[in-house]
Structure 1
């Protein structure tokens, strides 16, 4: 049993809130499941009673939302640190995609909860689309459109396509770690390169969903010219 936390000094409520969030994230990291986190267990780790937690968070969902917000904030910081603003948009896509993969593999439990969401309502959607990481990658896609790498238009479909690519790879790596992945970063790099360059090539071929055989003929012509 955890020792009861000493009464906080006046003005230290922020410190207690941070401890509660840290304990919540520890539980999320262990389980990768928001349903497995309870107010009672969080209180036990911190050494406080449930009423002390409810002074800072309306309910468990509010607590999980706050913990997920911290995860997204740290993901954004990791992506920002890996991004060189002087690089081309295609290079930044690669940098940001690899930073995303590294972060997810280092924090698999928290990542699964953050991207899995605890609901399907506006709060969950807004939290994802409004996150710094999502906005940062969206800007990179806009820059790619501005330079002509990707056909100009609404960036949202492209952002979601590329995000689903990197999310799919890293989620499968987390779920099936026993598969012969080799170097996770190398695999993620190749998949991201295929997705980013493939999107640009599809724009050149023309059409939202080009005929696969036409695409194969286009690639064959390129190979002949090499």
Structure 2
């Protein structure tokens, strides 16, 4: 069945639909190499040239998909601590929200952290990472906050990945693991 065209001047809607559909297909793919522009075009109900009108290359589409996913991740984490004032509780909240996002959106989590370019470099940090740096600075002011945030991020990211790749392992509860990581940071 042919897709109905968007009204004139609403090409942005098709662009967004391509990103959302691409994100869904990529999250469901076992391997990134299975992801094709043709599959996205077919799923949206448009021709490949319609996709290429918005994304000149597969890499450009992957970048847009990753950026949207990271935006969702950032929003989830920053919203989780929006009303939390105490620095250690902010770090705990960020850690729990990180693991929750990975557990509830495993395919999207994989897309965000494993596929395509994502802005993570100095001077171009994500909102979720800035929130972690700020919480670390307030919690342990005697050490470099960015280094502390990287350490905490590495611990939680490792835990998230392990939980996703080894679901049959007898994992302890999330809260105590995050508390132990925070205690190690504060003591160390």
TM-score normalized by structure 2? 0.90
Choose which of 45, 48, 51 in structure 1 pairs with 2:43: 45
Cα separation, 2, equivalents of 1:181 and 1:159: 24
Q: How many angstroms does 1:49 deviate by?
A: 0.8
After the TM superposition, list the runs of 4 or more consecutive aligned residues in structure 1 that deviate by more than 3 angstroms. 123-127
2:79 counterpart residue number: 81
SS at match of 1:90: helix
1:175 counterpart residue number: 165
Aligned 1:11-90 pairs, distance under 5 A: 11-31=9-29, 33-90=31-88
Q: How many angstroms does 1:52 deviate by?
A: 0.5
The alignment status of 1:158 with 2:148, answered yes or no, reads yes
Choose which of 103, 106, 111 in structure 2 pairs with 1:113: 111
Cα separation, 1, equivalents of 2:57 and 2:2: 21
Choose which of 119, 126, 138 in structure 2 pairs with 1:131: 126
Give unpaired runs (5+ residues) of structure 1: 203-226
TM-score normalized by structure 1? 0.76
Contact 1:32-1:113 at 8 Å conserved across structures: no
Asked which structure has the greater CA Rg, the reply is: 1
CA pair 32-90 structure 1, distance change in 2 beyond 3 A: farther
Higher relative contact order (CA 8 A, sep 6+): 2
Contact 2:27-2:110 at 8 Å conserved across structures: no
- C-alpha deviations, 1:59-80, integer Å up to 9, x for none? 1111111111111111121112
Give unpaired runs (5+ residues) of structure 2: none
Tell me the C-alpha RMSD between the 2 structures.
2.0
